[in-house]
Amino acid sequence: MSRSSLWLSLVVLALPFTGVTFLIYETVGFNWSELNDEAWRASLAVTLYVTLTSTLLSLMIGTWLARTIYMKRSSWLASLLKWPMFVPHVAAAYLFYLLFSGGFPVYGLFEANERNHLVVILTYVWKEVPFVFLMVVGTYGQLNHGYLDMAKTLQLKPLEQFRVAEWPFLVKPLLDSFWVLVAFISFAYEVPALLGVTFPELLGVLAYERLTTGLFLNAFESYAVALIWTLFIFTGVVASYALTAKQRRRIERGMRR
């Protein structure tokens, strides 16, 4: 049973790799200096800002909520927290657009289509916190209470307690979530297209736009950006997993009860 599904999975998952191969093939001979124009540079900056802010906020809030809910056994909040997961990103973006574009009295700092991209970040945080929560809460469920009790007995400060008794077990789920979110947010189209501004645009929006506004020459720019970005994320994933491999393995052994 498992072997046939493995084969089918591998056939299906070979497709995105074909996509990357195509990008490599298309960008042979591309003049990379063309990417050094202002639109791409500004796009890179704002993409890093939006991606990292939303990802880190989601990770922190998600972990904090998982911890709170686990400690206080607040099951009503846990089930409420699932709600945003039922909303596809496109729909979430539209709901936030409706609320913040002027049809609703939440004016001021937060407004759709403004340069600080606060509503974009808000949308992502709202959508991704439940995801992080889901990834992390399992770890808390399995957490060996012995560690926490020991940390308390040693009279460590709360932060120290967290660092010693919880953090090591959170590394793996948080690392997983971090890269999934970074990969997703940094090259998505729907949310920033609806809530972003004309300049600077996020990478996904700019790449898609240059592909479809008919300037054929610019298609290669988009392919090149997509390729570098994918390889950049791959490198980050592989490097961070390699660096933490030893620690994670040690912890995994400790976690088995």
Residues 48-107 within binding reach of another protein (CB under 8 A): 65, 68, 72, 74, 77, 80-81, 83-92, 94-96, 98-99, 102-104
Q: Which is nearer to another protein, 151 or 177 (CB)?
A: 177
Interaction of residue 197 with another protein, rule CB under 8 A: yes
CB 89 within 8 A of CB 191: yes
C-beta of 167: minimal distance to another protein in Å?
19
Using the rule CB under 8 A, give the single segment among 35-43, 48-56, 145-153, 156-164 that binds another protein. Answer: 35-43
Using DSSP, state whether 52 is helix, strand or coil.
helix
> Cα(first)–Cα(last) distance of the chain, in Å?
29
Q: Which is nearer to another protein, 215 or 243 (CB)?
A: 215
Interaction of residue 214 with another protein, rule CB under 8 A: yes
C-beta of 154: minimal distance to another protein in Å?
28
CB 94 within 8 A of CB 194: yes
Burial (0-12, 13-18, 19+ Cβ within 10 Å), 142:
exposed
> Sign (positive/negative) of CA torsion 99, 105, 106, 110?
positive
Options 148, 227, 240, 248; binder of another protein; rule CB under 8 A: 227
C-beta of 206: minimal distance to another protein in Å?
10
Residue 102 region by backbone torsions, left for phi larger than 0, else alpha for psi between -120 and 50, else beta: left
| H/E segment holding residue 137 | helix 118-142
Q: Which is nearer to another protein, 154 or 254 (CB)?
A: 254
Q: Which is nearer to another protein, 38 or 157 (CB)?
A: 38
Interaction of residue 144 with another protein, rule CB under 8 A: no
Interaction of residue 239 with another protein, rule CB under 8 A: no
Residue 80 Cα distances to 9, 62, 86, angstroms: 33, 13, 11
Interaction of residue 114 with another protein, rule CB under 8 A: yes
Interaction of residue 124 with another protein, rule CB under 8 A: no
Rounded to whole angstroms, how far apart are CA atoms 195 and 5? Answer: 40
C-beta of 105: minimal distance to another protein in Å?
11
Q: Which is nearer to another protein, 91 or 154 (CB)?
A: 91
Interaction of residue 32 with another protein, rule CB under 8 A: no
CB 247 within 8 A of CB 171: yes
Place of tokens 């400690």: 71
Q: Which is nearer to another protein, 154 or 232 (CB)?
A: 232
Number of residues that this document lists for the chain? 257
Interaction of residue 28 with another protein, rule CB under 8 A: no
